[in-house]
């Protein structure tokens, strides 16, 4: 079985950056190596054309003296002597002896050139030899490759190749009249050993540069990959700490790039998880307290009656029944809250008239309000306020809100219920009188099991879960609910729900 190697991020970054750099270097090297020979040939051809341009004035002067190419065609030695003379004096002499210095003519022992169609023993008088080597102006036998055409491009002197570029011909003009064309056969290859060695050295240097570049690219890719992977590894380590339950983990936030923003997100996540963990522990503690208190009372009452400390009569059983009812309400509220938190509570949405629901809820609490000497006032719009909602859950929401207002408003106070609507939303406000709450207490009003010390205690019968359930139901209907200190010294609860358009 093959072993799968799991690459780390640093290895993937290293491979990606090195592969891209290596590909670019290899392509550049291959293209350059392939173009060196062609480029050198182009350079040689340009150099030869520049040398041939020096011959054009000589030919024009000769034609002006003879008014024809015929004499030159009959005496090709004269033509090639002219060629060698110009190429020697204008080019090779400067390379060998310095600018403006020329060797003496008729130098003893120097061989003359071999012209096309001549034997090996024929020499030009006083003309240095060229052959195929680096003779006077004769690099790669340039003189032997030169040819002359008349004005109609008919061959006059030299061997004309079967195919040549017409644009490479140099015009020969006398007094503005075109009298001929000068050309040369193209170089077929690099023949001189020195030039071939030069090209080979260039190609070897390119390979050396390639391997050096690859080594430098590997080093830079490693450094850059390590630099890029280090902050990602730090973030990963922080996430692992959060997963292990260490919510105090914080990452150093520096910079403004995506990694820095990711660090900030991890820090916010850690803070949120820490807050949720604190809330969870508080909820568990409060829940245990809420369950333990009625159970302790029930257990104490039953033991007292069993031991004969208290009589077993209707009054004592009624006390136990009240605690059982309180415990059952608490369990039911916990169950409802769990359902709304998880989204498992089924909502049967349909078109409902919210006016009627508010009216029914207010009417159901008028008796309790009267028993506590509370003035309950309801104001609704004349036109129907239609919503898409679950009628049963909306009733539960309204009952919890009104129960909270009636239960915790001091006797003799007022409760005002106002329903309004605008273009897109229905707004329900429930305002009561003292006791009130601070801004901080209002912000926590809808937290589960939260009670204000002064007024919300278990002696009033509440579980501390009703408002949390209200918030979940309102949000499930696409609405919002909030509380703040009311103008009458009590609470002002505002709920908005989207209308059914």
Written as one string, the DSSP assignment of 462-489 is --S-HHHHHHHHHHHTT-EEEEEE-TTE
Query: Of 154-163, 252-261, 266-275, 460-469, which gets the smallest average pLDDT?
Result: 460-469
The pLDDT > 70 percentage for the chain reads 78
Task: For residue 27, give every residue at least 6 positions away whose Cβ sits within 8 Å of its Cβ, in sequence order, or none.
Answer: none
Instruction: Note the pLDDT of residue 459.
Output: 46
**374 burial type by CB count under 10 A (0-12 exposed, 13-18 middle, 19+ buried):** buried
Mean of pLDDT values over 199-214: 81
Q: Which residue has the higher pLDDT, 494 or 396?
A: 494
d(CA 491, CA 430): 8
Is residue 375 very low, low, confident or very high in pLDDT (cuts 50, 70, 90)?
Answer: very high
Task: For residue 133, give every residue at least 6 positions away whose Cβ sits within 8 Å of its Cβ, in sequence order, or none.
Answer: 192
d(CA 336, CA 344): 10
Q: Which residue has the higher pLDDT, 457 or 108?
A: 457
Query: Of 149-163, 236-250, 441-455, which gets the smallest average pLDDT?
Result: 441-455
Instruction: Note the pLDDT of residue 189.
Output: 57
d(CA 442, CA 495): 14
Instruction: Note the pLDDT of residue 134.
Output: 40
Mean pLDDT value across the chain: 77
**251 burial type by CB count under 10 A (0-12 exposed, 13-18 middle, 19+ buried):** buried
Q: Over 50: is that where the pLDDT of 121 sits? A: no
Q: Over 70: is that where the pLDDT of 427 sits? A: yes
d(CA 64, CA 243): 100
Question: What does the pLDDT look like over 407-416, one tens digit per residue?
Answer: 889 999 999 9
Instruction: Note the pLDDT of residue 132.
Output: 38
Tokens 């049963």 found at? 392
3-state helix vs strand vs coil in the chain, percent to 5: 55, 15, 30
Q: Over 60: is that where the pLDDT of 303 sits? A: yes
Task: For residue 52, give every residue at least 6 positions away whose Cβ sits within 8 Å of its Cβ, in sequence order, or none.
Answer: 146, 170, 182, 184
Is residue 137 very low, low, confident or very high in pLDDT (cuts 50, 70, 90)?
Answer: very low
- Phi then psi dihedrals of residue 181, to 5 deg: -135, 140
Instruction: Note the pLDDT of residue 386.
Output: 93
Q: Which residue has the higher pLDDT, 116 or 422?
A: 422
Compute, in degrees rounded to 10, the torsion defined by CA atoms 212, 214, 218, 220.
Answer: 70
Tokens 């023993």 found at? 121
The tally of CA atoms less than 13 A away on the side-chain side of residue 133 is 6
Three-state DSSP class for 422?
A: coil
Contact 352, 320 (CB under 8 A): no
Instruction: Note the pLDDT of residue 337.
Output: 67
Tokens of 207: 């390979």
d(CA 329, CA 336): 10
d(CA 359, CA 267): 48
Instruction: Note the pLDDT of residue 6.
Output: 67
Mean of pLDDT values over 232-251: 84
| Among 379, 473, 478, 477, residue whose Cα is nearest residue 419 | 379
Question: What does the pLDDT look like over 75-110, one tens digit per residue?
Answer: 888 888 888 877 776 554 444 444 444 444 333 333
Q: Where are the beta strands (DSSP E) in 375-465?
A: 375-379, 386-389, 414-421, 425-433
Q: Over 60: is that where the pLDDT of 458 sits? A: no
Cα dist from 13 to 18, 197, 217, 218, 354, whole Å: 8, 41, 13, 11, 61
Decide the pairing of beta strands 386-389 and 177-184: unpaired
Instruction: Note the pLDDT of residue 286.
Output: 66
Cα dist from 237 to 5, 223, 266, 273, 275, whole Å: 22, 21, 11, 16, 21
Q: Which residue has the higher pLDDT, 165 or 357?
A: 357
d(CA 435, CA 425): 30
Q: Over 80: is that where the pLDDT of 466 sits? A: no
Q: Over 60: is that where the pLDDT of 463 sits? A: no
Is residue 376 very low, low, confident or very high in pLDDT (cuts 50, 70, 90)?
Answer: very high
Compute, in degrees rounded to 10, the torsion defined by CA atoms 148, 154, 155, 161.
Answer: 100
Three-state DSSP class for 141?
A: coil
Mean of pLDDT values over 160-178: 84
| Among 140, 144, 173, 136, residue whose Cα is nearest residue 161 | 144
- List domains and CATH numbers for the chain: 9-184 (no CATH), 258-342 (1.10.287.130), 350-498 (3.30.565.10)
Select the highest-mean-pLDDT range: 199-213, 217-231, 378-392. Answer: 378-392
Query: Of 304-313, 334-343, 454-463, 483-492, which gets the smallest average pLDDT?
Result: 454-463
Question: What does the pLDDT look like over 1-52, one tens digit per residue?
Answer: 444 556 676 777 778 888 888 888 888 888 877 777 677 777 777 877 888 8
Q: At what angle do helices 9-66 and 193-243 cross, to 10 degrees?
A: 160
Instruction: Note the pLDDT of residue 206.
Output: 80
């Amino acid at each position: 079985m093959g072993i799968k190697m799991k690459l780390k991020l640093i290895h993937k970054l290293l491979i990606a950056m090195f592969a891209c750099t290596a590909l670019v270097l290899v392509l550049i090297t291959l293209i350059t190596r392939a173009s060196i020979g062609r480029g050198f040939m182009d350079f040689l051809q340009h150099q030869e054309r520049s040398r041939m341009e020096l011959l054009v004035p000589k030919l024009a002067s000769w034609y002006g003296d003879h008014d024809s190419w015929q004499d030159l065609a009959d005496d090709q030695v004269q033509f090639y002597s002219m060629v060698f003379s110009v190429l020697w004096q204008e080019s090779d002499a400067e390379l060998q002896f310095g600018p403006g210095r020329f060797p003496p003519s008729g130098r003893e022992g120097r061989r003359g050139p071999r012209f096309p169609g001549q034997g090996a023993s024929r020499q030009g008088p006083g003309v240095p030899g060229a052959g195929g080597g680096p003779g006077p102006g004769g690099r790669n036998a340039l003189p032997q490759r030169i040819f002359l055409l008349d004005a109609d491009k008919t061959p006059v002197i030299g061997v004309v190749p079967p195919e040549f570029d017409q644009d490479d011909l140099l015009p020969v003009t006398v007094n503005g009249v075109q009298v001929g064309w000068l050309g040369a056969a193209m170089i077929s290859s690099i023949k001189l050993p020195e030039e071939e060695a030069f090209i080979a050295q260039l190609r070897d240097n390119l390979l050396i540069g390639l391997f050096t570049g690859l080594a430098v690219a590997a080093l830079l890719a490693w450094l850059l990959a390590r630099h890029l992977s280090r902050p990602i590894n730090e973030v990963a380590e922080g996430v692992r700490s959060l997963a292990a339950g260490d919510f105090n983990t914080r990452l150093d936030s520096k910079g403004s790039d995506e990694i820095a923003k990711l660090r900030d997100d991890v820090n916010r996540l850690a803070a949120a998880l820490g807050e949720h963990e604190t809330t969870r522990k508080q909820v568990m503690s409060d829940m245990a307290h809420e369950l333990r208190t009625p159970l302790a009372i029930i257990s104490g009452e039953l033991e007292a009656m069993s031991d004969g400390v208290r009589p077993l009569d209707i009054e004592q059983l009624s006390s136990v029944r009240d605690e059982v009812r309180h415990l059952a309400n608490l369990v039911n509220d916990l169950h409802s809250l769990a359902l709304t938190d998880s989204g498992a509570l089924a909502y049967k949405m349909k078109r409902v008239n919210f006016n009627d629901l508010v009216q029914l809820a207010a009417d159901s609490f008028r008796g309790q309000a009267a028993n506590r000497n509370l003035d309950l006032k309801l104001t609704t719009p004349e036109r129907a306020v239609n919503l898409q909602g679950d009628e049963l859950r909306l009733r539960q929401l309204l009952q919890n809100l009104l129960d909270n207002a009636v239960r915790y408003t001091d006797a003799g106070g007022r409760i005002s219920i106002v329903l309004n609507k605008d273009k897109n939303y229905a707004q329900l406000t429930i305002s009561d009188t003292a006791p009130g709450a601070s801004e901080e207490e209002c912000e926590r009003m809808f937290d589960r099991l939260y009670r204000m010390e002064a007024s919300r205690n278990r002696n009033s019968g509440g579980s501390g879960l009703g408002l949390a359930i209200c918030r979940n139901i309102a949000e499930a209907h696409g609405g919002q609910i909030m509380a703040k200190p009311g103008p009458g010294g009590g609470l002002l609860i505002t709920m908005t729900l989207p209308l059914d358009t």
